[in-house]
Amino acid sequence: MKLIEITKEQFADFTNDFENVHYTQITGMEELIPLRGNEYNYLGLEDDQGQLQFATLLTRVKLRLGQSFVIKTGPLVMDLLNKDILPIWLTELKDYAKREGALDLYFIPDLPQKIVSESNTETLNKDVIDNISSQDFAYESLGQGIDQRFENWVYKKDLRGLTEQTLWDSYENNARHSIVRAEKYGVKVRPLAYDELDKFKDVSEHTAERVGYNNKSLEYYQTVYKNAGNRVKFLVAEVNFKKYRDNLLQIRADLEKEVAEIDLHLEKFPNSRKKINQKREYLSQIEAQQNRIDEAEQWVIDSKGEESTVLAAGMFLYTKNTVYYLLSGSYDHYNKLNAPFLIQHRIMQEAVNNDVEIYNMLGIDGDFSGADSIYEFKKSFAGYAEQKVGMFHWIAQPLKYKMIEGLKEILGRN
């Protein structure tokens, strides 16, 4: 067997035949790599009969003094437990990195090392870690936290065998209540067209500023939209604030009607403890409803006559058996409307109806104490946490690498 460079068409033909393809390895997503100033190649492992056995996308990360090679979530269809093929693959890969002048090589498989659910913790793939490490790769894994270099913890939900009803029944109470409230408030979810992607950028930028991470550019979203085709969906949750306000007014009127009927009863039975307590509860609800109405009146003014206002958004990408929740954003001043919950419900409804097996909600930090609000949000949809095996690192040019690391230390750079 030997490692060869293959064409985009060969890569596409190969990847389209397989189900377990990570979203970063589908044709079209490689067009994002140049946006970060890097380059890429398609690689394959060819057998003695000229048949392609494995394929992967390799990223060439530009450095000040050279380049790093990165294989992330590949290779496709390779059994990393196969002790006969794995050394061939890694040896060929290291030889290729040397020939191409790479400083080092990072190998990041898409495999779990731990699965954590409400009822169980399972450890997996220790043999894979040992097998790759035995080929002179240094191993790195992060117990807790989010690492920008590789997926550490993700959150998934198994959709196999679910209907819309059993999907709904599987959610925790918090998610169900939030979805019901969003629908009651008149929140609607719809896909964005290409020329509306600025709406997605605006809401994601608002979120990025709030939580302190770097937002993607409009060009990034446009590139995904154009190259991923019908695999990608940009969804927004919107509301018409005039209708929302009118709905609140009707709810208040219904509550006032209940109070009026209780007053009639109390005229005849003034000491009815049950009715007195009911009236107190309804009056409390009316006061809370009036606060919402006052807030809604301001939102109507702020909307400046727009038919609908964006509350939250999500970006999703389909592979053959998985839908990935890639990016999202929400306006925090509209949090009470629970729009993000409704977006999640809609994409999972669609996935179930299209026989998608897994919903991958991607990053969490592995903190299960209740302190991680992102994890708590995702957990309300009742899935499981999965820790990836981590990252393997091989140095192609040890002397140069040591020199660069020494310079970094002198200059105080990471």
Whether 214 maps to a domain, the answer reads: yes
**Whether residue 278 sits in one domain with residue 227:** no
**Whether residue 121 sits in one domain with residue 180:** no
- Confidence (pLDDT) at 407: 84
The beta strand positions in 178-231, using DSSP E, are 188-191
Tens place of pLDDT per residue across the chain (414 aa): 899 999 999 999 888 777 778 888 988 899 999 999 999 999 999 999 999 888 999 999 999 889 999 999 877 766 787 888 899 999 999 999 999 999 999 999 999 999 999 889 999 999 999 999 999 999 999 878 777 777 899 999 999 999 999 999 999 999 999 999 999 999 999 999 999 999 999 999 999 998 888 889 999 999 999 999 999 999 999 999 999 999 999 999 999 999 999 999 999 999 999 999 999 999 999 999 999 999 999 999 999 888 999 999 999 999 989 999 999 999 999 999 999 999 999 999 999 999 999 999 999 999 999 999 999 999 999 999 999 999 999 999 999 999 988 888 887 765
- Confidence (pLDDT) at 413: 66
- Confidence (pLDDT) at 217: 94
Three-class DSSP category at 315: strand
- Confidence (pLDDT) at 242: 96
Whether 313 maps to a domain, the answer reads: yes
* Owner of token pair 């020939």: 99
Which residues are CB-neighbours of 152 under 8 A, at least 6 positions away?
141, 142, 145, 146, 363, 365, 366, 387, 388, 390
Q: How far is CA 389 from the centre of its chain?
A: 18
* Number of domains forming the structure of the chain: 3
Which residues are CB-neighbours of 264 under 8 A, at least 6 positions away?
none
Residue 121: exposed, middle, or buried by beta-carbon count in 10 A (0-12, 13-18, 19+)? exposed
Give residue 357's domain range.
156-240+308-387
- Confidence (pLDDT) at 299: 96
**Whether residue 207 sits in one domain with residue 160:** yes
**Whether residue 128 sits in one domain with residue 8:** yes
CATH code for the domain of 287: 1.20.58
- Confidence (pLDDT) at 264: 96
Cα separation, 27 vs 17, whole angstroms: 12
Whether 341 maps to a domain, the answer reads: yes
**Whether residue 359 sits in one domain with residue 235:** yes
Neighbours of 392 (CB within 10 A): 24
Cβ-count burial 4-34 (b if 16+ within 10 Å, e if not): eebeeeebbebbeeeeebbbbbbbbbbebbe
Which CA distances in Å does 373 have to 58, 99, 150, 358, 388?
34, 46, 21, 22, 21
**Whether residue 248 sits in one domain with residue 235:** no
Three-class DSSP category at 104: strand
**Whether residue 265 sits in one domain with residue 283:** yes
Write down which residue in 281, 302, 323 finishes a domain: 302
Cα separation, 3 vs 25, whole angstroms: 18
**Whether residue 123 sits in one domain with residue 178:** no
**Whether residue 178 sits in one domain with residue 207:** yes
**Whether residue 95 sits in one domain with residue 9:** yes
Write down which residue in 265, 284, 302 finishes a domain: 302
**Whether residue 258 sits in one domain with residue 223:** no
Whether 148 maps to a domain, the answer reads: no
CATH code for the domain of 75: 3.40.630.30
Three-class DSSP category at 81: coil
Whether 151 maps to a domain, the answer reads: no
Count how many Cα atoms sit within 13 Å of the Cα of residue 145 in the half-sphere of its side chain: 6
**Whether residue 235 sits in one domain with residue 248:** no
Q: Is the pTM of this model over 0.85?
A: yes
| Termini Cα distance of the chain | 38
Whether 150 maps to a domain, the answer reads: no
